[in-house]
A and B are shown apart, each in its own frame.
Chain A
Amino acid sequence: MSQATLPIDFRTNAQHVPPKMPASVQKATAKFLGNRAALVEALGNELWQTLRQAAHDVRLHAITNLDQYLEQAERAVTKAGGHVHWARDAAEANRIVLEMARHHQVRKVVKSKSMATEEIGLNHALEAEGIQVIETDLGEYIVQLLGMGPAHIVVPAFHLSKEEIAALFREKLGVDAPAEAEKLTQVARMKLRQEFLTAGLGISGGNFLIAETGTIVTVTNEGNGRMCTTVPPVHVAIVGIDKIVPDWESLTVLLKVLARSATGQKITCYTQFISGPPRADAETGPKESHLVLLDNGRSRILQTPETRETLLCIRCGACLNICPVFNNVGGYTYGYPISGPTGVLFASQILGVKAAGGLPFASTLCGACNDICPVKIPITEILLHLRHRVAEGDEQEKAAAPSLMRTGAQVGSVALRTPWLYRLGSSLLKWAQAPLKRDDWLAKLPPPLSRWTMARPLPAFAADFRSWWRTRSHKR
């Protein structure tokens, strides 16, 4: 499931949402939103808005000077003794990691939660070569045992009950533990501790990459992120090129808004700053440190000014939590590892409108996501542009809407603008519908219009508007 089935059919997926999904989603999102609200209130709305604006400005500055900051980061990582790899797309990124694993004769990999690796389907690529990949974030570990991907970017297994998890552990791990969060967590701790100590490679993502010093920043709670980057002999971080920030000062702002928006914490339990491998031989930590800078469509997102701000995203998940659509369908319906409003923006631009053109329509455009976004991404404006791209195409992509619909709309547009054509059309319609008309309804129409009439009848065409209006006025 971590690799998307294309094209993504949101409407069909939405018809297969398990009945208990909305309730469990809403329980989780309500908790995060509640925690967040309390912290925002404690700061005061004025200060919060100042922080949001600053966070927006620093992210926008970073992505509009992206080439310079990437070069600076590459120089700094290299100077710190780390290795920088560039990956144009998913296949190239997977190949880099695979070669690294082969070079070090790695049989087992431990991974901390990373949406970039979900995006490129890294686990599949490694497993296909016989390398065991173990997700170590508790939620990811659980959904991996289930053979699924994350249902939420922050809490991947939030839709499962403790009874279901206990049954899963019994079946997959052979451990009989009571259905209690504490006991189940202990089981995972014991199992995963052994994996950390015996893995040959640790893989992480990166919440930020500081250009100034070439520092990979990871923001976590459980400690598995520290394990994956500290205990195995080799560490590789897969980081999207959009994750860059200019300097440490910029990060103070982003860290303040990230945890508050994500889980409603002031700061997460562990925030790690890794600049290359340990500097002294006597220092513990991985002997090799690698950074894979992933493009995979991000440089293209940058091209269109109307959609560029997609790349400001810091993956906090607040827009998922507030979204009325997400709250009713859950993460899997989006068919992409990142779900909710921000997932729609990324999926439809990275995969293209042919594969994910339905997603920009999976929104009510209510704008709650705009208001909660800690980096002030104008999400609904970008969604509207993407809808436009799907329907009519833009400088990046051709339209994806069926040509029949587009031709129909064009014909309609001409007919409605030309009075004589309009009159001709309405008399033709009256004549054409006569054999199908039953009272005031058309019960059955030939294809492709039958797609409407198989669900409900179509009101028969009464008259053209002008003549209808004349008759109506006479009656009064």
Chain B
Amino acid sequence: MSTNSAGEDILAKVRTSLKRGPGQPVAPVPSTARVKPRVAGAPDAEIELLFTEIGKLNGVTRRLGGRDDLKTALAELVKVEAVQKATCWATPDLMTLDVAGTLKALGVEIVSPTAGKHQVAECELGVTGVDAALPETGTLLLRSSPERPRVVSLLPRVHLAILRRTALRADLHQAFGEAKDAGYCVLVTGPSRTSDIELTLTLGVHGPKALYVWLLDES
């Protein structure tokens, strides 16, 4: 099956070492190698846990009751983080919420998320949605697609993730079940961090220095 002679060689050596012939069926993964998935709590308790965990890792969380709240919160964020340029996922949810339009009205220059890497890197703020959220560890799962460019949550100094309740998942088992055929995804847990210099925790070494996670509930 292998496409070149080095591959054939290596596979032959592996088989010799394991005393196996070619084309042997794979035994199923033993049941002892599996652990039980976590059982999710009530939705409010899950949100509470998620926010607590994100907070422990220097992320900033907030609950928003509707679109007006979102506008207010965006205005505050633009001020606090001195945002001049921003970029935003083009997913249906964020388009409907008109995040880009709101930021523009606040005097922020909007950079297309599919603009070149140099332009996206100049943004202070990148806004994304959340494809799955894992309360136990305070983790956000972000996928990649033409509407969800990977650089939006990576290059700008500040990452804002807008979370919906429907994104809550019990744990990795459930999230992986949905994401494994996605082609690309990343688990984000807090802002970029390092302790490489004298074990001192420092935020924002390469990725975003600040992570904001806002839960948006609309009645």
Contact = CB atoms under 8 A, between A and B. Distances in A.
Given A193-B121, A302-B17, A28 B181 contact: no
Interface string A48-85: 00110111011001001111111110110010100011
B18 A302 contact: yes
Interface in A105-144: 136-139, 142
A181 B202 contact: yes
A78 B180 CA distance: 16
Interface in B1-38: 1-4, 6-7, 9-11, 13-18, 20, 22, 24-27, 29-30, 32-35
A273 interface: yes
B192 A285 contact: no
A129 B183 CA distance: 34
A102 interface: no
B181 A253 contact: no
A435 B201 CA distance: 68
Contacts of A182: 200, 202
Interface string B159-188: 000000000000111001101111111111
Contact of B30 (A61, A74, A75, A78): A61
Contact of B184 (A55, A72, A285): A285
Interface in B189-209: 189-200, 202, 204-208
Nearest to B25: A68
The number of chain B residues touching the other chain, given as a range, is 35 or more
Nearest to B6: A86
A287 to B, nearest CB: 13
Interface string A235-267: 000000100001111111101100000010011
Given A54-B34, A185-B202, A280 B146 contact: yes
Residue among A66, A67, A158, A224 having the largest count of chain B Cβ atoms under 10 Å: A67
B186 to A, nearest CB: 5
B114 interface: yes
Contacts of A67: 11, 14-15, 18, 20, 22, 24
A51 B205 CA distance: 32
A427 interface: no
Contact of B193 (A222, A267, A302): A222
A182 B203 CA distance: 8
A197 interface: yes
B114 A299 contact: no
A226 B184 contact: no
Contacts of B200: 162, 181-182
A230 B150 contact: yes
A27 B199 contact: yes
Interface stretch (B44-52, B63-71, B93-101, B137-145): B137-145
A185 B192 CA distance: 12
Given A54-B33, A249-B173, A269 B10 contact: no
B117 A226 contact: no
B151 interface: yes
B215 interface: no
Contact of A252 (B32, B173, B179, B182): B173
B184 A269 contact: no
Interface of A: 27-28, 31, 50-51, 53-55, 57-58, 61, 64-72, 74-75, 78, 80, 84-88, 92, 136-139, 142, 155-158, 160-162, 165, 181-182, 184-185, 188-189, 192-193, 196-197, 210, 212-213, 215, 221-224, 226-227, 230-231, 241, 246-253, 255-256, 263, 266-276, 278-280, 282-285, 293, 295, 299-300, 302-303
